[in-house]
Structure formats: structure tokens, C-alpha cells
Amino acid sequence: MEGSLQIVDVNKFEALAVHERLAALQAAGNEDRKLLIRVLAPDDAADVLQKATREFREQLLLLLDQATRAEVIALLAYAEDVAGGLMTPRFLRLRPELTIKEAKVYVERQIGAGQASTSRYIYVLAVDQKLLGVLSARELQLGASTARVEEIMRRDVITVHDHLDREAVAHVYNSHAYKALPVIDADGRMVGVLTADDIVGVVQAEATEDMHKVGGSPALDAPYLQAPLRAIIPWRAIALAILFVGETFTASALGYFQDEIAKHVALTLFMPLILSSGGNSGSQATTFVIRALALGQIKLRDAFKVFRREFIIGASLGAILAVLGLLRVLGWQFLFNMYGDLYMTYALIVLVSLIGVVLWGSLVGALLPLIIKACRCDPATSSAPLVATFVDVTGLIIYFEVAKVLLAGL
Amino acid sequence: MEGSLQIVDVNKFEALAVHERLAALQAAGNEDRKLLIRVLAPDDAADVLQKATREFREQLLLLLDQATRAEVIALLAYAEDVAGGLMTPRFLRLRPELTIKEAKVYVERQIGAGQASTSRYIYVLAVDQKLLGVLSARELQLGASTARVEEIMRRDVITVHDHLDREAVAHVYNSHAYKALPVIDADGRMVGVLTADDIVGVVQAEATEDMHKVGGSPALDAPYLQAPLRAIIPWRAIALAILFVGETFTASALGYFQDEIAKHVALTLFMPLILSSGGNSGSQATTFVIRALALGQIKLRDAFKVFRREFIIGASLGAILAVLGLLRVLGWQFLFNMYGDLYMTYALIVLVSLIGVVLWGSLVGALLPLIIKACRCDPATSSAPLVATFVDVTGLIIYFEVAKVLLAGL
């Protein structure tokens, strides 16, 4: 292979996804392999090796220079989806006792070696690698030459532990505007840094997971068209079956109101309309709250604020839909004389139960994710279909109880 | 204010969100203001100035050094949510005719000036600023000293136009593994670069928008608890009202089947169960497809593959739920003798219509976002509630038509 061709390969190689990089390495000759694997930053190399067979992994490790090999081996010890598996082990570092003038020279030397994943922050470490503080590049530039690093560094650094899972990492990252997060091990030693490069994939993957869950199925990790059907069908079936069993309570509830239905068949006409309105307002509320929790915009302690907010919203939405429902019943009555003598009572039943069901749907949708979070589970489990199922069962009871009261004696 | 106190401020200031930075600048004295505004990279400064009053913006601009002021003014000309408004104008650049040896010196000098937002890529520009190619830092390191930049640079660079909106930017970024995207203007001049730092917020915001839409309401830009109710209620009400009007067709469809219902009240018992099963499988399918479209995992031309896939999945899920439904009807019949002599016919109606409705729901859920995308609208508009509403109306017809056929002559 010629020099120019190799360079094209390196370029292309950098643009590939992890499994494509692995395939390219398998296809390459030994010299090219060495070139390609050395192009990757240690965290990217570790991602590829993670996917390789044990034997091929050993081969590839031998192609790395000694320093990188040690870094990659350390990274391979972490699960892929924890801070340690996402971070890069290369960052700018300083000792606390250096003067700013000395520090600038050290930092330039480290940048020149091309090792740092970010040059925005410089971390101050003790001899035992414990993280003492942080300086931004700008602070280093502004600092007086004779001041010591420890005098101007910031000591209250936001850090994450190396075994923290990616969802929690994304939370910490979202909760402030720093552009890098230092990762420390159980002994407080800094082992790496997370930058936006490492986080952007996490943020995507977490959003995908939440979206799938909100849609009412377990999260799918592989791309949609690549995931094997034998993996998709059982998971989606289990989720649907659970919802189905929940929804069978509607059949039981309806059985309980069978006498009212037999006497007033017109009541069944509005049943899907009223139940779906409750489910839809619940679906709106639950996705808002799930997303706000994921972005750290609301916490569990905001539960009362959320309740108050959705109470006002739900009551307003219920009132608006109730008016529409009233107009629908009266309109069709005048146009087609569809509902007989009791049309005014039916219109009132629709009006009152829409307010109740929509308000109830909003409250259930908003509070269910908070309750699930309080139980230390993933709030995204409160999916739109789960809320709709719950509101179907309880909404039916609201609807027919309202009907029973308003039809009493008729 | 003392030096050490100022440094703490700089640190804190960097961690603040845009509106908090603006408030801090308003609160600060003139000397501190100058220090603080100069801490920000030009794209971050532009974001803050974007939110300021015209008068305060002019004041802040005067505090910047001349070069940065020109950069910030250029950025302010862009809308916030297009590539030009997200990018940073500082990147490493080289002329094509330089030798690798000369290039290394230039690059080191540029890095030393602390100007580049990424040191991973160096862009090769003509005298008129047109983008000719790109080199990775690694390629520069590996290149022979006497080779010219233009000999080893890669010419087929993936770029985005400065007025491309953020959703499309996220798409391009997702579609490959490069860690920076050059931004070019209408004349092909490179005006800035997008890195993961700029993209991570876009990815979050786009996921939030899609999640809100999937939940059945327009996207909410402000944090959940801060958004004013007078902004939330009308939008959520409009979305619910549209769904409500769609759902009123269930009342019309049920009116059409009123005779069957009057004769077989037991049919109403299973109605919510069957409709919600269709809606739930549709909700699963639609969120999978919406997310896969957003991540660029599927394109419009994959429509047939998606159809085939969801046909198999929907039929399997339908069969599984149908068996559960059958067991439910037969079980309750044997335990409570609930459904009279026709219980076997009802069980069959539930079985057949569950297969039909669940299959139909999966297909509608999967294909609706593709159809909406084909109409050049946002596929996330195909929300879980919209799919459920559509499946409610059509599912009712499937259910009662199956019932009519199986009950014919009884």
C-alpha cells in the first residue's frame, strides 16, 4: 500500500463507527493495522478492543506503544457505560506548588505533545494523583506570573466517580455549564476527563432510551433496522402484555356498569372519546415531566409545584374539551336527532366527566414519573401507554359514576 | 473587588447558563464586566449578547478587544438556531502550499495563542478563505516533513452551510464519526467550526422537542417549571382539541354500529381493551421509527423494509395478545359465567380483532412518521396520541366488522 493511499485510509478510518473500525482493522494487513490503531485516542481504541475477540484484542494491544497500551488496558477494565469507560485518560495536569510562569511552560509542553483531550481546563494534582483543584486556560493566562497555582486554582471541583453509570453522568453534565468533567476513582485520584466529545453520544443514547420507554417498550440499543426480530418481539410483547393485563380491568369495570349500559346504549358512544382525552392529556404531562427530570430541570422536591401546575393546566384543558364535547352532543342532536329525549342529560354527563377525566389524566401523567423516581426506578417507565391504560380504567369509573348520578331516577 | 475574589467570579461565571451570565454582567461593575465578558469564547459571548437589550449589547461590545468584537458581531448576524449561530469562528488553519515542517510551526503558534476550539483538525484554506481540505492533527504528525499540505490533505470534507438549521446540523453530525464540522458560507468560505461542545446542546434540545411532540403536544422551549402557563395551556389545548375532533369519529362509528351494540352489550366490554392494544403497539412502533429517523438510522427509501419488519412484528404481537384475550374471555366465562351462551363467539371476535387491530396499529405507527416526512414535515408530529386516535377510529371499524361477520345469523 502506498503512502498516499494509507493517508486516505486514516482519514476514512477516523469517520467510521466502532464496529466498522473493527471490521477495517480485521481486513487490514499488519503494517496498516498498526498505523490505524495508533490513530485512535486511547478511549476510542478501547471502544474498538472492547468489541474484538479475546485473541484479536491481544494482537491489537501489542501494536500500540507502551504508554498507550497501559492506558487502553486501564480503560478496558471499565464497563462501557460508566464514566471510566467513557472518559479519556489524557488531560493537562499541574502540581500545586508551581508558579504561574512555570505552569505555563509545563502546559505548553503537554499541549505540544498532543496528549490532552481538552486544553480548556488544567487539573491540579497532588503527588499521589489526588485532584486538588482546577484552573481554566483563561485563568492561567490572566494569573500573575509569581502567584502559585494553588493560590488561584478553584478547589470545589465538580467531579464524577469512575463507576458512575452514563445516565447519572449525563445528569451531572447537564446540571452545569462546565465543558469538561474530571473522573476520579474510589481513592480520589483523577483518572481521566469527560468532554463534550464523550458526552454527546451518552446524551443521544439516553434520549433514545427514554423515547423508546415513553413509547411503551423497553429501550432498544441497536439501530432500528439492524436489531434482530427475535430480540425486539419478546420485549415489545412483554410490555404490551403487561399493559393488556392492566387494560383488562376496563372489561371488569364495564361489567360492573352493564345495567347502565343496557339501559343507555348512547353512553357507549362517548366512551372512547372521553377515555382517550384523559389518556392524551396524561401523555402530554408525562412526557413533559419525564424530560424535565432527565434534564435536571425538576427534582423530586418539586412534586408539589408540579402538582399545582398540572392541576391548573388539567382543569383548564378539561374545561376547553368539555365545551367542545358539549357542542358535539348538542350539534349532532339538532342535526340528526341522534340521542333521543335524554340528550341534555347525556350532554351534561359528557361535560362533567370530560373535566374530571382530563384533569385526572394530567395529574396521573405528571405525578406517576415522580412516584416511580421516588421508588428509585427510571421515571421514563411511566410511558404514554401506561398512563393511558391507568386513565382508561379509572376514567371509566369517573364517567359511569357521573352518569349514574346524573341519570338517577330517569 | 480584589484579585482573588475576581478569580472565583470568573470560575463561577463560566459555569453559568446564558441568562445567568447576562444577569451577572448586569450586576457587575465596569472593570469586572470587562474581565468577565473577555473570559467567554466568541460564540458564548454572542449567545449572551443575543439576549441583552440593544443598549447593553452596545456597551458590552465596547468592552471586547477589537478582533473578538469583529467575530462576535459576525456571529450576531446569525439566528441562534442555525449553524452560523452555533459555531465558533476560531479554528486552526493552513495554506495548501506549506510544507509539513512549516505547517507544524504555524499550527503550534496558533495553538499557543489559545484561539482554536479544537486542535484535532486543521483546515486548509485558499487566500480567499475557501475551504480546500482538512488534515487531522495525527496526519500532520505522521506526514513527511518535505511533503506539502495539499498533497496529504483530504479534499472531500463534510461541511454544513452557515444558515442550516440546528436539526439538520444534528443530522449531519450524527451521520459520521468526525468530531468537528466546518461551516461554510454561500461563497464556500469557511467561517467557523462546530465541535461536540456546540452540538451537545443541539442534540439535547432536538431530543426534548421530539419527546414533547411524541407525547402529543408542541415542543416547549423553556424549562418545564419556568414556562408561563399562558404559553403552555393554549398550545396543549390546541393539540388536544385536534385529537379530540379526530376522536369524535369514534362516536360516529359507534353510532353506525348501534344496533349490534344494543343486541350484544357484551361487545362494549372488550372495546377499550382492543382499541388500547392497537394504540399501544402503534405507540411503540411510532417512537422507534421517529427516533431512528432523527438519528439518521433509517431514511425514506427504507419505507418498505420498515413495513415488512413491522408487519412481522405486528402480526406476532397481535397473535400473542389474541391468545391472552382468548384466555381472558374463556377464563371469566368459566369462573363467573359472565358472557352467556355466545361466549365462544365473543372469544373468537376478540381473538380475530386483536390480531387485526394490533397489526394495523403497528403498521400505522411505523408508516405515519415516514408519510409525514415524505410531506417534508417533522416526523415527530406522528405522536403516540395521534396514532392512538387514528387506530381508535379505524380499530373500532375492524372490531365491529369482525363482530358482524362472526355474529351473522345469530
B291 to A208: CB separation less than 8 angstroms, yes or no: yes
Which residues in chain B are contacts of A113 at CB distance < 8 A?
Answer: none
Q: Average pLDDT of B256-265?
A: 88
Quick one: pLDDT band at residue A115, thresholds 50, 70, 90?
Answer: low
A211 to B214: CB separation less than 8 angstroms, yes or no: yes
State the best of B244, B254, B265 to mutate against chain A, taking most chain A CBs within 10 Å.
B244
Cβ neighbours of B336 (radius 10 Å):
10
Residue A236: predicted pLDDT: 92
| Integer angstrom CA distances of residue B392 from A380, B249, B399 | 24, 9, 10
In the DSSP assignment, the letter for residue B136 is: E
Quick one: pLDDT band at residue A7, thresholds 50, 70, 90?
Answer: very low
A240 to B388: CB separation less than 8 angstroms, yes or no: no
| Residue with the larger pLDDT of the pair A9 and B92 | B92
- Which chain A residue shows the shortest CA-CA distance from B5? A152
Mean pLDDT of chain B: 88
Residue B204: predicted pLDDT: 85
- Rg (C-alpha) for chain A, rounded Å, is 30
pTM given for the model: 0.81
Q: Are A217 and B242 in contact (CB under 8 A)?
A: no
B14 to A177: CB separation less than 8 angstroms, yes or no: yes
Q: What angle do CA B10, B12, B17 make, to 5 degrees?
A: 110
Cα–Cα dist A239/A242, whole Å: 5
Q: Average pLDDT of B253-270?
A: 89
Residue B7: predicted pLDDT: 42
pLDDT in tens, A192-222: 999 888 888 888 888 898 999 988 888 887 8
C-alpha closest to that of A94 among A190, A235, A14: A190
Which residue, chain included where needed, has cell 379530540?
B244
For residue A292, pLDDT over 50 is answered with yes
The count of CB pairs under 8 A between chains A and B is 361
| Residue with the larger pLDDT of the pair A339 and B355 | B355
For residue A238, pLDDT over 90 is answered with yes
For residue B112, pLDDT over 70 is answered with no
Long-range residue pairs from A302-310, CB within 8 A, at least 24 positions apart, any chain: A302/B225, A303/A367, A303/A370, A305/B225, A306/A366, A306/A367, A306/A370, A306/B224, A306/B225, A307/A363, A307/A366, A307/A367, A309/A366, A309/B225, A309/B229, A310/A285, A310/A362, A310/A363, A310/A365, A310/A366, A310/A367
**A262 CA: distance to closest CA in chain B (Å):** 6
Residue B115: predicted pLDDT: 62
Q: Are B153 and B133 in contact (CB under 8 A)?
A: yes
State the best of B236, B257, B290, B332 to mutate against chain A, taking most chain A CBs within 10 Å.
B236
Which grid coordinates belong to B165? 438549521
Which residues in chain B are contacts of A297 at CB distance < 8 A?
Answer: 223-225
A207 to B212: CB separation less than 8 angstroms, yes or no: no
- Rg (C-alpha) for chain B, rounded Å, is 30
| Residue with the larger pLDDT of the pair B250 and B140 | B250
| Integer angstrom CA distances of residue B289 from A292, A298, B205, B286, B362 | 23, 28, 19, 5, 11
**Lowest mean pLDDT, pick from A50-54, A224-228, B6-10, B291-295:** B6-10
Residue B8: predicted pLDDT: 44
Strand partners, A148: A99
For residue B5, pLDDT over 50 is answered with no
- Which chain B residue shows the shortest CA-CA distance from A198? B196
Q: Residue A374 is which amino acid?
A: A
**A54 CA: distance to closest CA in chain B (Å):** 25
Give the pairing type, strands A160-161 and A180-184: parallel
| Residue with the larger pLDDT of the pair B71 and B97 | B97
For residue B9, pLDDT over 80 is answered with no
Cα A253 off chain centre by: 36
State the best of A204, A208, A261, A355 to mutate against chain B, taking most chain B CBs within 10 Å.
A204
A152 to B4: CB separation less than 8 angstroms, yes or no: yes
C-alpha closest to that of B42 among B1, B7, B70, B79: B70
A277 to B247: CB separation less than 8 angstroms, yes or no: yes
Residue B4: predicted pLDDT: 38
pLDDT in tens, B271-319: 999 999 999 999 999 999 999 998 888 999 999 999 999 999 999 999 9
B250 to A240: CB separation less than 8 angstroms, yes or no: no
Q: Are A395 and A357 in contact (CB under 8 A)?
A: yes
Give the pairing type, strands A160-161 and A131-136: unpaired
Q: Are B363 and B331 in contact (CB under 8 A)?
A: no
Residue A9: predicted pLDDT: 64
Which residues in chain A are contacts of B204 at CB distance < 8 A?
Answer: 174, 203, 207, 295
Quick one: pLDDT band at residue A363, thresholds 50, 70, 90?
Answer: very high
Phi, psi for residue A43 in degrees, rounded to 5: -70, -35
Cα–Cα dist B261/B249, whole Å: 17
A292 to B225: CB separation less than 8 angstroms, yes or no: yes
For residue A1, pLDDT over 70 is answered with no
B265 to A258: CB separation less than 8 angstroms, yes or no: yes
Cα–Cα dist B145/B127, whole Å: 23
**B406 CA: distance to closest CA in chain A (Å):** 20
Which residues in chain A are contacts of B289 at CB distance < 8 A?
Answer: 224
**B312 CA: distance to closest CA in chain A (Å):** 9
A224 to B289: CB separation less than 8 angstroms, yes or no: yes
Cα dihedral B37→B38→B40→B41 (10° resolution): 130
Residue B244: predicted pLDDT: 93
Cα–Cα dist A159/A131, whole Å: 9
Quick one: pLDDT band at residue B265, thresholds 50, 70, 90?
Answer: confident
C-alpha closest to that of B378 among B206, B129, B222: B206
Which residues in chain B are contacts of A295 at CB distance < 8 A?
Answer: 204, 208, 223
Residue B205: predicted pLDDT: 86
A136 to B10: CB separation less than 8 angstroms, yes or no: yes
Cα–Cα dist A389/A374, whole Å: 21
Q: Average pLDDT of B83-99?
A: 91
**A238 CA: distance to closest CA in chain B (Å):** 9
A324 to B245: CB separation less than 8 angstroms, yes or no: yes
Pick from A135-144, A230-239, A303-312, B215-224 the range whose average pLDDT is largest.
Answer: A303-312
Q: Are B172 and B158 in contact (CB under 8 A)?
A: yes
